[in-house]
Chains A and B, each alone.
Chain A
């Protein structure tokens, strides 16, 4: 067993252990932190596979973006120290059985098929990736690139619209609403939501 293989098994054990803990711990903030470690482990696996570009993208987008977003949303919506309620035993057992059978079946197929590597060396460069990404001829990825850029724009606008506070229910100006409020109506009628415990 070479040093490369030992490093691979350490990284895989780290990824799987952190992933399993992220899915089983009952404190939501710890779950997010274990997910962070699992994603870093996946980036390490890409480094081990010598695709450093994907590893860098993984760290920038997942670790720097998505996990931070998830942690912010946990702070906005949860008391992070509180434990989540325990699931019923029946559901847990059924899920474990379903997952084990699914894993067994899938891995049996992989084991029986016995993929053989071609043995040729995989030489990619960032310039190769870039020129094929913006290539409009056969095999180029210019169209998916444009579609993804439109998707990102649409999801950005969509996020802002969805997460924006709802406009006030009454159709008067702010001054009229203030007058109504001073008349002694409760705030809920004016459509003002207050988040007290954030």
Chain B
């Protein structure tokens, strides 16, 4: 087996998750916020694969969850970009601070 302890791999996925959270907190541009969400989804995928490989090697459920998450991330990115382009047509900007019509 590998010589890397499992917590080091989990360190990478946790750090990637919180890097994505940092981007989500600080960025105000919709495309960069979408990129932050992609990073977060990737860190979750790493976790699923690692837990499946090291803790339940005779099952495949983590692999399936990863595949479905990747699929749904692709659909989500496509819809988000369609919304962004539509918003750009009406507002000439994709800054979330400028799209405040539906804010309460």
Contacts and interface: CB of A to CB of B under 8 A. Distances in A.
Partners in one complex: yes
Interface of A: 1-2, 4-5, 8-9, 12, 15-16, 19-20, 22-23, 28, 31-32, 35, 38-39, 42, 45-46, 49-51, 53-54, 57-58, 61-62, 65-66, 69-70, 72-74, 76-78, 84, 87, 91-92, 94-96, 98-100, 102-103, 106-107, 110-111, 114-124, 128-129, 132-133, 141, 144, 148, 151-152, 155-156, 158-160, 162-163, 165, 193, 195
Contact of B82 (A20, A114, A122, A159): A159
A35 B35 contact: yes
Contacts of B1: 117, 119, 121
Given A62-B70, A65-B74, A73-B81, A117 B35 contact: no
A187 to B, nearest CB: 14
A8 B8 contact: yes
A100 B89 CA distance: 38
A28 B29 contact: yes
Interface size class of B (residues with CB under 8 A): 35 or more
A155 B53 contact: no
A58 B70 CA distance: 7
Given A16-B19, A23-B20, A42 B79 contact: no
Main secondary structure of the interface of A (DSSP, over half): helix
Interface of B: 1-4, 6-12, 14-23, 25-29, 31-32, 34-36, 38-39, 42, 45-46, 49-50, 52-58, 60, 63-64, 66-68, 70-79, 81-86, 88-89, 94
Contact of B26 (A38, A42, A87): A87
Given A49-B53, A121-B57, A148 B86 contact: no
B54 A118 contact: yes
Given A15-B12, A28-B31, A62-B70, 20 more contacts: A5-B3, A8-B2, A8-B8, A19-B39, A32-B31, A50-B53, A54-B49, A57-B67, A58-B70, A62-B42, A65-B77, A70-B35, A70-B77, A70-B81, A77-B85, A99-B21, A122-B53, A159-B81, A163-B81, A163-B86
